[in-house]
Chains A and B, each alone.
Chain A
Amino acid sequence: MSLPNISRVSASGLLRSSRDLRWLLRSVAPLAAPRRALTQMGYRRPGQPREDRPPWWRVKFDFAKGLKGMKRHFKLLKEEFFAPFVGPMGKPIMEHMLEQNQVLWEFRGPHSLQEWTISCDREIGGKSEIYLKVGRNNESCLLYGTLCSDPPKDGETRYSGYCTMRSKQPLASFDRKKYHDWSSFNTLHLRVRGDGRPWMINIVPETFYTHQKDDMYSYFLYTRGGPYWQDVKIPFSKFFLAHRGRIQDDQHPLWLDKINSIGFTLGDKADGPFQLEIDFIGVCKDYAHTEDFAYEKYKRNPEV
């Protein structure tokens, strides 16, 4: 699944309102107006001709794949049917209510990589590379590659050079969307070993309106580098709202009850190889952290 065009226009700039983005695109785009609105069409790589085929043409109908799929879906359905007998979310109720720490992703073996997708600016014509593999001894995952911030020569893109890893949307039986529910936790805990580069953690919640499709809550992940593992604890109150990579004026705290995915992005403009090893990602409830939100509501028309 392709990432939203967060970093296409600028990999590092955060501060313009989204209205300007569309205005700017309109001033550069060809004379014919798009058939559908920009938000609904998804990302079109500059220079590629517009596709006029209806969306159901893209589905491939294959019998063997269908049979395997049916088996998988019915198995998931059976699990979902019997899970409430154990307790909410398949866990006993005492555990669900009282647990203080939950390990979300623990990278032990190649099966843990199935839940993650990686992407880099090769999608928009750039020259970065990214690879994901299991770390030594099946004990961690290693995200490595090369970053190259030469913008693609298509006349539209000005900045480039990003690499990202994002968790796939959890799916219930029959490909229904399932959400992470972290409402009883308030801190994100990661164990990583980086090479000194600053990363960005993005959390994408489920939203109601289509205009909020590219909304992301982000915060920085500064790695120390070196041979020792680094424990990073980020409270969810520190995550700020950004849309397509631009930080928004109207900030509000992240709602933890329906989270779609979490991702890591590298966009510091230092060209060269990078690597990040992740041991596990978990959430925990820190009773000592009482802050609701780190950024105050911004006045829409402040006095100069």
Chain B
Amino acid sequence: MKCSRCLLQLVRSGRTVVQRGSLLLSPSSGQLIVQHNQQQQVLRQFRCSPVLAKSQPEPVRFVNDDGTKKTKSLVTKEDLFEQVAKESKTKATFNQVIDVFTKTDIRRRGHVEFIYAALKKMPEFGVERDLTVYNKLLDVFPKEVFVARNFIQRMFNHYPRQQECGVQVLEQMESYGIMPNIETKVLLVQIFGEKSHPIRKYQRIMYWFPKFKHVNPFPVPQPLPEDPVDLAILSLNRIANDLDAKTTVYQLPFTDITESGEEISFPHIVGIQSPNQMELLAKHNPNRPVFVEGPFPLWLKKTCVYYYILRADPTPPEEKEEEVYDPERCFYYPLQLDLDLDRDLGDEENFDVDDLDEGPVFAMCMTSQGDQATLNQWISGLQQNNPILGRIPTLFRLDAGTRELEGVADTEAGHSHRPPPQSQREDGLPAEDSEAAVEEEEPRRSRGMKQ
């Protein structure tokens, strides 16, 4: 990259300037820094004589003042973070701790332990996905000390502990999926030189990350929407597997105050159905029940949401009817071709596997509260577009825990979720009611409850 070369040349010219004994421009702040330590001594700028120190700024104050210096216990570098953590854990305080450390000692003694401690504390302060914080942390390393100056140093893992520390910073960045930027590269070159392990790791990140960035065919937007209704719409569109599917919000979340003063919160109900599913439902035999099953888990990065489905068992082979293609449905191309293609073994494109028929899925929904009342609301909402639902008995198979999707035979083979026999009697009732049922009246549906 051109700008990296420019920045590198600036650094290199800065290095040669220093060798002549004049001022060093530190890359992180563009002005001369004169530092004092606690004893009010003028500290020498690195590779530069203190005679050139012109201005006299105030001494830097620490977070922990002299009061705690009397105790003689072992103080780890994490204590700096823990003291700040007592007040608040934000990016500003994290940066403040790093600033305190960098300004304490010109030679940055203990910087390796400090950086390891900072890496460990990053998730607590919530800055683990922030590239600027990583760059600031890399800035803690003293520059140009660890650069290998000849081939022997390059061969023999010059300053191994610091190189390993640099690699660990990059590894934490990589594990959180953060792409480093040009500032990271310039910092690494200044600190470790061009043929060092951290630069190698940086090059590997820059090679592989762009290759795998768009490899997910079902990408999850980052950040996920916080509104549960939006999240439900997003995940339903994802699992629908059909671009024509339409989501409907049957109920937005709201809280209602009853007469006794209690607050009842109602969950959101979002459903999805595609025209194919509507067709399948319209063709479903009303004598066979449909099942509301759930909750099934769906993971989006790190959040798990649950969805419910409305499905039916596959039609037994004796009831299957052949779909007759109406040739007038499409005039542009024939829907059915009777060609003898003369294909031999080399042209066989399908796998020799029996197709699983698990029964059609008619609709999916997502709601925060998965009890029968809410799902009943969903079914009644669905009924507006699928009037056949009024005549079909609906059975609820809800489970407190997560389950896998059910097949056919297990349900009839004395499974524990089998509806009680009283529902069989109720099956007869809606059938009679439907003839007398008027559209305004909500038809009763038989329910088999699982205890």
Contact = CB atoms under 8 A, between A and B. Distances in A.
A106 B353 contact: yes
A49 to B, nearest CB: 28
Interface residues of B, number: 62
A196 B208 contact: no
A43 B387 CA distance: 62
A98 B239 contact: no
A20 B300 contact: no
B299 A225 contact: yes
Interface stretch (A73-81, A120-128, A138-146): A138-146
Nearest to A137: B407
Interface in A239-280: 247, 249, 269-270, 272-275, 277, 279-280
Interface in B285-342: 296-302, 304, 307, 309, 311
A136 B404 contact: yes
Interface stretch (B74-82, B90-98, B209-217, B428-436): B209-217
Q: How large is the interface on A (under 10, 10 to 19, 20 to 34, 35 or more residues)?
A: 35 or more
Contacts of A196: 218, 238, 298-300
Interface stretch (B10-18, B129-137, B199-207): B199-207
Contacts, number: 148
Nearest to B199: A304
A284 B351 contact: yes
B347 interface: yes
A137 B164 CA distance: 53
A165 B417 CA distance: 30
A191 B298 CA distance: 18
A279 B304 contact: no
A196 B235 CA distance: 10
Interface stretch (A8-16, A59-67, A111-119, A174-182): A8-16
A20 B297 contact: no
Given A100-B348, A284-B351, A274 B174 contact: no
B406 interface: yes
Of listed A98, A100, A225, residue having the most chain B CB within 10 A? A225
Given A136-B404, A137-B409, A139-B358, 5 more contacts: A196-B298, A197-B299, A227-B309, A228-B361, A277-B404
A272 B404 contact: no
A279 B353 contact: yes
A98 B344 contact: yes
B299 A101 contact: no
A224 B236 CA distance: 11
B189 interface: yes
Nearest to B207: A298
A135 to B, nearest CB: 7
22 contacts: A10-B175, A13-B174, A15-B174, A20-B167, A20-B197, A99-B346, A100-B345, A101-B350, A103-B352, A103-B353, A136-B404, A136-B409, A137-B410, A189-B351, A196-B218, A224-B218, A225-B239, A227-B296, A227-B364, A272-B304, A273-B402, A301-B195
B423 to A, nearest CB: 22
Contacts of B345: 94-95, 98-100
B349 interface: yes
